[in-house]
Amino acid sequence: MPCVSPCLDQIVKMPCSDSFEVDQFLMVEQILSEFKLNKEELKEILKRMQQEMDRGLRLETHEEASVKMLPTYVCSTPEGSEVGDFLALDLGGTNFRVMLVKVGADEERSWKVETKNQMYSIPEDAMTGTAEMLFDYIAECMSDFLDKHHIKHKKLPLGFTFSFPVRHEDIDKGILLNWTKGFKASGAEGNNVVGLLRDAIKRRGDFEMDVVAMVNDTVATMISCYYEDRSCEVGMIVGTGCNACYMEEMRTVELVEGEEGRMCVNTEWGAFGDNGELEDFRLEYDRVVDETSINPGQQLYEKLISGKYMGELVRLVLIKLVNEDLLFSGKASETLRTRGSFETRYVSQVESDTGDRKQIYNILSSLGVLPSELDCDIIRLVCESVSTRSAHMCGAGLAAVLNLMRERRSQETLEITVGVDGSVYKLHPCFRDKFHKIVRELTPNCEITFIQSEEGSGRGAALISAVASKMAVCMLTH
C-alpha cells in the first residue's frame, strides 16, 4: 500500500485542532528534522564508505579499516550442472534453520531447486553461554531434522551460512572475528567455525556430514538469486543486521594472491563508522542505543539501519517528545519507558496503518498508553523519520558499492542485479521503495534490477556447497 503520512494540512483540518496543536506538531517536526539526510549528505556518506572499502582491500590498511572487505574464496557461480541432495544450515540471528535442498534439471535442462526446511529457535543460554553449548545445540537440531526426513544414513555435502564477521582461509575454513547481533558465546572468537561445527557433530556420533562450504548470508543470497538472474553479482541483507557482498576484481583483493577473475568480497559494512566516519551523522538517540547495546562502539552503521535497533530508536524519540511535553500530555507508561518495549515490528505496523489510526492505537494501548488522534499521527511521523533515514543510509552504502564496481570495470553504464533478503526489506511497507529510489538517484550510470531472495540464505549455501563439491572454487597457490 502507498505510504501516507500525516501532514500539517491534515492536522489543521482536524475538527479538534487548534493553534496549540498546530504549534505542537511543528515542534515535533523540528525535532524530527534531524533524521532527514539531503542528497549532498548522502553523497558524502557514499564517498566515505568507498574510502573505507578501499582501505579494507589494501594489505597495508586492512587491519585498521572499519569496512573489512573480507575475501570469501567464492569465485565461481553455479553453472546449472550441479545436481544432487545438499544440506544447508543458516545461522544468522535468533532463529536457526536446517534445509534439505534437491538440485536437479527439468526437461528443458533448466535448473530446478526444491527445498524442505525447518526453523529452530536458539535459546538465550546457547547464544550467550559457551561455543560448545551453541554448536551442540545446532548439532542436536540437525539430528532432529535428519530423523524427520529419514536421511540420517546419508552423508550429504553441507553448506553452512554463518552470518557473522569471519576471516576466510579457504571455502570451508573461517575464523570468527567477533560476534554481533546479540551473540556472545565464549570460546568461538578467534577459532575456526567449521571446526567447531565438525567437533559438535563428532561429539554426538549419530550422523556424519561433509562440511564443504561456509558462507555469509549476503553471499548465499547473491548465489541464490544468481539462479534466477545471471547478472546478480551483489547480495545484501537488511534484517536483524545489515551487510552486503559483491564480485570484486581479484587484482584489487590484496589479501589473496592472484590477479585474474573476480572473487566475492564480504564487505562487513555494518562496522562502517567504528573509526569515527559517521560521528557528524549520529544523533543523541543513536548514541544511547550504542551505549546500552551488547557491543558499544561497534557496528555503528548497522545500528543506524537494521531491524535490531529500529524499534528502540523510535522508543527513545517518543520518550524525548514526552519529556518535551509534545506527546501523551507529557506522561509515558512504565512499559514505554522500558528499553526494548517498542519492537521493530511495531514500526512496520504503524506505517501500515490505513489512516483510521486503529492499528497505532492498539499498539500504544498494549504499551499502557491511551493516545489522542494527534498522538497517533505524531507516532507515525516518528516511525517514518527513523525508517526513512534507515533506507537512505542503507541506499548510500549500496550506491558506494555499485559505483565502485562500475569504475573498476571501466563501463559507461553498469547493468547489475542485486539480490536482497532480510525482514526489514521484505516486511516494512515503505522501506523497499524508498531504498530503491535513493540508490537509483545516487547511481546515475547504473541500471539496477532488484530481486527479492526467497529462502536465500539456506538455498544459496546449498548451491555453494554444490559448486564446492565440484571444486569450482579458487585454486590458490600459497
Catalytic sites, residue numbers: 181, 217
CB 393 within 8 A of CB 286: no
Using CA atoms, how far apart are residues 428 and 387, in angstroms rounded to an integer? 9
Nearest Cα to 417, choosing from 232, 248, 219, 221?
232
Using CA atoms, how far apart are residues 146 and 153, in angstroms rounded to an integer? 9
Alpha helices in 353-455 (DSSP H): 358-366, 373-408, 423-427, 431-442
Other residues' Cβ atoms within 10 Å of the Cβ of residue 206: 12
**Bridge partner residues of 210 (DSSP):** 157
CA 175 to chain centre: 20
HSE toward the beta carbon, residue 289, CA cutoff 13 A: 27
Q: What angle do CA 349, 22, 337 make, to 5 degrees?
A: 45
Please enumerate in sequence order all residues whose Cβ is within 8 A of that of 181, keeping only pairs 6 or more positions apart, or say none.
92, 93, 163, 164, 240, 241, 308
